[in-house]
Structure 1
Amino acid sequence: MEKPLKKTPLYDRNVALGGKMVEFAGYLMPVWYPTGIVKEHQAVRENVGLFDLTHMGEFFIKGVRSLEFIQHLTSNDVRKIGNGGVQYTLFPTPEGGTVDDLLVYQISPEHYLMVVNAANIDKDWKWLNAHNDFGVELKNASDSYSLLAVQGPNSEEVLTRAGFANVAYDHPFTFRRVKRDTERVFLCVTGYTGERGFEIVVKNPQAPELWEDLMSAGEKLGITPVGLGARDTLRLEAGLCLYGHELNETTSVMEANLAWAVGWSKDFLGKDVLVRHNEEGTSRLLFGLVVEKRLGSPRPQAKVFADSEEVGVVTSGSYSPTLDKNIAFCYLRTELCAPGREVAVEVRNKQVPATVVKPPFVEHRLFKH
């Protein structure tokens, strides 16, 4: 028997705003609003957008060996961040694949928050418990917390008008626990868009009022609610991986061009495979393609060709509103990963010319501009 679809605490707000609700990771989520994906996308690049991301998972890890536990399971080195720091990292498998990518937040050396992908909540929770030989306390709080994101160059102004103090001084990949009403919320300088922005983790009962406060604070600025459709085009332009597309249990961190998210000076599960990949190289790498607008957008699983030979496969593709061209992620033979190289890619059962580029397609702007 299938589980009934979950509704976030913001479901009624999303419906009232005309959100097109679709199933995603067991939730009914807005894929777009009446403004449409392109205008939502442009709002985040040029102004400010508000996202309901409550489908994401939240795990708390607590105990004297918490750091040791996380260091064992994740690729990056948590010792780099300190209290109030946030780190992008991955769960490698012993075979060199990837269980998930995630963010780790250090509350204290003995207390951490993990935010994981919505589609992987159950899998990640089992993974943590299966490897908990460290006696740490694990709490799956995914059904108790909401996540709202305010993204774009005017995000600081919206938060300031909504009563959050000193946000202009918050550095990317940090967080603060600030009091709002009677509860503390996590105010995080993080996002999935490549723009200056914030993500706010709050307990479910607080979420509807916070949403209304943010919408009211941003009304004169023209704040736009943004659905999952524009979230995907924004992250693709920013060159950010999506699990299930660029990452999976047969794809290594090194193939995905994520060596920067590996702490080579520590031991962790699956390190030996990644070290070998780093020393010997891999046969393929995650790279980008740009296709002229008139030729159409490559879709996932489209084949890539060089001199009539199949040399790669597309993992994500979309029209880029910022570039006014089509862009795609693809796994490409390593020797062909040279910016400016011309290849061909399948679009609507035809091969069309494409140019190889190194992501991101649009530069990140994580500070106010």
Structure 2
Amino acid sequence: MRVLAALSGGVDSAVAAARAVDAGHEVVGVHMALSRSRAQHRTGSRGCCSIEDASDARRAADLLGIPYYVWDLSEEFEDTVVADFLSEYEAGRTPNPCVRCNEHIKFAALADRGMALGFDAVATGHYARIVTGTSGDLELHRAVDEAKDQSYVLGVMGPERLARSLFPLGDVASKDEVRAEAERRGLGVSAKPDSYDICFVADGDTKGFLRDRLGSRPGEVVDADGQVVGEHDGAYAYTVGQRRGLGLNRPAPDGRPRYVLEVDPAANKVVVGASELLSVHDIVADDVVWFASGSPVGQAFGAQVQLRAHGQLVAASVVRTDDDVRVTLAEPMRGIAPGQSLVVYGGTRVLGQATISAAGRAAREQFSEQAPVAAR
């Protein structure tokens, strides 16, 4: 096959490209330039797609003996991933930009452009597995190394793009194994630290980034009874479950810490309260991407769900409708915010993905307007 290898400049993508070469594919390396600032530099292990990363990607391609190109996708990245990030926070939601990057850039702009140029598949350094099921359909599964598994952020890609993808690292036992392989191959990135946090907020100051882009919008912080307990400079800078940096003028009557319960952008208010008020059983998620064609519609079935990129799988009753996914958790969870991704698993297999639109009381109100879900 003709394979387009996405080279980020890190150790995972370099080893994935090397394995694609070993498999006999005709491989071409591509580095995605996502920053509009050509002077952007990596800060420690924060950020990615910087000048240093592009240079590391080129050296890896040279060592592997494959052609190498840099594709400027900064406009697409700004107009999709960054714009979505800002609009979601402005709407009082908590987005995951890595999910959107996979959706709009790595498995849309990159993959679709590659297919148009005659490539058969895109290879990336993601930790996930593609398995052929008993029916012959391709299935997305969790990686062997559960600590590094990235199937959660890949659920948005959908079955069509899954068929044009390769994840050569899905079967490795650990990241240490990947680093050791990179060292054996002479790849200079073997000891390079992993990137983390939000790549376009390289200094890690998400609140400052939002303030610079969205401006100051002073408002009130209120408790669950509507009493004003503080002020904020922009409701968009708060997320459900947040405890630190609330800037409250007075403590709770019982002296216990308070957490963000709700962000109300229409009223420009942040609602805070006790931690137990964060616990939810019920979730509604829309913008559904579904992989398992044989799963029931309109009927409750048992599954597991993951609600955060590094979160644990939680048992749940799931109902998939024509418009959304409704989930009843077996045990309550805290800090579930609209905008987060919800991924449904059957064992290690990704059944589907959706974006949380309501949780707790707001979700139960939607349940009552539709067919009843299975009782807890």
TM-score, scaled relative to structure 1 = 0.29
* Rg larger for: 2
Q: Which is bigger in relative contact order (C-alpha 8 A, separation at least 6)? A: 1
**Which structure has more strand as a fraction of its residues?**
1
**Which structure has more helix as a fraction of its residues?**
2
TM-score, scaled relative to structure 2 = 0.29
